[in-house]
Amino acid sequence: MARVVLGVAGGIAAYKAVELLRQLTETGHDVTVVPTASALEFVGAPTWAALSGKPVTTSTWDDVHDVPHVRIGQEADLVVVAPATANLLAKAAHGLADDLLTNTLLTARCPVVMAPAMHTEMWEHAATQSNAATLRSRGVLVVEPAVGRLTGADSGSGRLPEPAELALLCFRVLARGLADATTLDLLGRRVVVSSGGTREHLDPVRFLGNRSSGRQGHALARAAVARGAEVVLVTSSSLADPAGTKVVHVTSAAEMHDAVLAESASADAVVMAAAVADYRPAERLSTKRKKTDALSVELVQNPDILRELVSQRGAGQVLVGFAAETGDDHADVLTHGRAKLARKGCDLLVVNEVGETGHPTGFEGPDNAATILAADGSVTEVPLGSKDALADALWDLVAARFCS
Ligand code: CTP
């Protein structure tokens, strides 16, 4: 759990910072919100206090015995200011300290992320650009504003990026530090990721499925985008499409097969994070099946997408499989994983334990832990952490194979 200071300056985008706060607290972070007085004109102190579980003040004159204007900054692992207005950027660039947020920025020695949001003219003004450049030269990560709809009917550069993108950036900075969080080591690479559990329909209402939520695959897509890759996500998940990716929605293993193979021809890497059903009903009824005393359904085998990818892989293409395993009477999880790596013939296999016993991870939740087995025999343990952290650990290994 990291200590995060969420600074909120006085812009209409303050409402989006509420969602950012939720995402930070829901992932277990200890968040102190430090709004400016103008921020409270947009979103009131009770909202920040209720969602952060802490009192909120804008002033250096409250709780003076606790010296908050020094303590909050000193204790932080990350300060993120969202939205950062033109006024806040100007004050920060010049070292002004006339409220709790600007004091905090002067005392913080941790990574500082600022997400500007304002009208295009204000963002493009020479004064604002010079202030952003000054802050960047001092090591502050000043995020480029998004382009799109602004406060009124107008649109242009100056939108606050979506809270989910800012949250991801915060997680990356906390996990990897400022420099590594923004490394574009997948720039120029095209990667295909599959995610979700496929649904094999019995009739228009019922299907055979599995517990995969698609969260790990979506995390992989987001992390690859953040590292500069062109990303295609082939997914059967109903999660929101990750920003910056081409998303191909599919339902069944057969549809996933066709989409993945079509997209993979020119890909530098393919990561099969999807839980593809091995079997489908031999027959899909066009009308709803009626109840009978007993029912047996004939199943036929689906194509093995990963094995097909391996059999037709292009030069230098890196292929990654996932294996959600339980140990059984014959072998433990890793022994099953090694056998699967050999059987599939891929370069890397992400093995995680699932099921009711042991330390099950993987399905549905935000966290995962895994052992990544490589065809060259190397083994990388990824301890329990966010699915975003596991995604980054996997891309580290893929990126290393591009370089070798
Ligand atoms: N996979 C695939 N096509 C399938 C089944 C699985 O591409 N029809 C991929 C998965 O996306 C995953 C890897 O193969 O990356 C391993 O999936 P898994 O279901 O564990 O493999 P199986 O060969 O089906 O082995 P098992 O007998 O354990 O189910």
Say if residue 244 is in the same domain as residue 163.
no
List the CATH number of the domain containing 393: 3.40.50.10300
Instruction: Indicate the residue among 177, 210, 241 that finishes a domain.
Output: 177
pLDDT value at position 355? 67
**Residue 302, ligand 1, Cβ within 6 A:** yes
Q: Is residue 122 part of a domain?
A: yes
**Residue 320, ligand 1, Cβ within 6 A:** no
**Residue 323, ligand 1, Cβ within 6 A:** yes
Q: Is residue 329 part of a domain?
A: yes
Q: Is residue 79 part of a domain?
A: yes
CA angle (184, 16, 53) in 5-degree steps: 105
**In the block, which residue shows the tokens 């499409």?**
241
Q: Which atom of ligand 1 is nearest to the CA of 308?
A: 7
Say how far apart CA 331 and CA 354 lie, in whole Å. 14
Per-residue model confidence as pLDDT tens digits over 176-191? 899 888 889 999 999 9
Say if residue 138 is in the same domain as residue 199.
no
Say if residue 195 is in the same domain as residue 173.
no
Say how far apart CA 352 and CA 340 lie, in whole Å. 13
pLDDT value at position 358? 46
Say if residue 169 is in the same domain as residue 256.
no
List the CATH number of the domain containing 81: 3.40.50.1950
Instruction: Indicate the residue among 124, 156, 177 that finishes a domain.
Output: 177
- Dihedral sign of CA atoms 38, 42, 43, 44 in order: positive
What residue type is assigned to position 400 of the chain?
Answer: A
Per-residue model confidence as pLDDT tens digits over 160-214? 999 988 998 998 899 889 988 888 999 999 999 999 999 999 999 999 999 899 9
User: Which of 260, 306, 319 for mutating ligand 1's site (highest number of atoms within 8 Å of CB)?
Assistant: 306
- Whether residue 287 is predicted with pLDDT greater than 60 in this model: the reply is yes
**Residue 346, ligand 1, Cβ within 6 A:** no
Q: Is residue 334 part of a domain?
A: yes
Q: How far is CA 65 from CA 68, 85, 133, in A?
A: 8, 30, 36
For ligand 1, atom 24: residue with the closest CA: 278
pLDDT band for position 363 (50/70/90)?
A: low
Mean pLDDT of 121-143: 97
Instruction: Indicate the residue among 177, 212, 239 that finishes a domain.
Output: 177
Per-residue model confidence as pLDDT tens digits over 294-333? 899 999 999 999 999 999 998 999 999 999 988 888 889 9
* Model-wide pTM > 0.85: no
> In the numeric block, which tokens belong to residue 72?
């909050």
Cβ(147)–Cβ(61) under 8 Å? no
Say how far apart CA 67 and CA 100 lie, in whole Å. 10
Q: Residue 273 Cα, ligand 1 centroid: separation in angstroms?
A: 9
pLDDT band for position 346 (50/70/90)?
A: very high
**Residue 253, ligand 1, Cβ within 6 A:** yes
Q: Is residue 182 part of a domain?
A: no
Q: How many domains does the chain have?
A: 2
Alpha helices, H only, 138-252: 163-181, 215-226
DSSP 8-state assignment for residue 404:
-
**Residue 309, ligand 1, Cβ within 6 A:** no
- Dihedral sign of CA atoms 154, 156, 158, 164 in order: positive
For ligand 1, atom 6: residue with the closest CA: 276
- Domain span at 130: 3-177
- Whether residue 259 is predicted with pLDDT greater than 60 in this model: the reply is yes
Q: Is residue 89 part of a domain?
A: yes
Say if residue 227 is in the same domain as residue 91.
no
Say if residue 99 is in the same domain as residue 216.
no
Selection from 122, 135, 57, 121 nearest residue 86 by Cα = 122
Say if residue 163 is in the same domain as residue 203.
no
Say if residue 347 is in the same domain as residue 368.
yes
Q: Is residue 184 part of a domain?
A: no
> In the numeric block, which tokens belong to residue 67?
């010296």
Say if residue 100 is in the same domain as residue 125.
yes
> In the numeric block, which tokens belong to residue 169?
């950036």
Mean pLDDT (the chain, rounded): 93
Say if residue 220 is in the same domain as residue 173.
no
Say if residue 63 is in the same domain as residue 10.
yes
Strand, helix or coil at 272?
A: strand
Q: Is residue 355 part of a domain?
A: yes
Q: Which atom of ligand 1 is nearest to the CA of 324?
A: 20
Q: Which residues are catalytic?
A: 210
Say if residue 128 is in the same domain as residue 254.
no
Q: Residue 275 Cα, ligand 1 centroid: separation in angstroms?
A: 7
User: Which of 276, 280, 338, 372 for mutating ligand 1's site (highest number of atoms within 8 Å of CB)?
Assistant: 276
CA angle (279, 284, 285) in 5-degree steps: 150
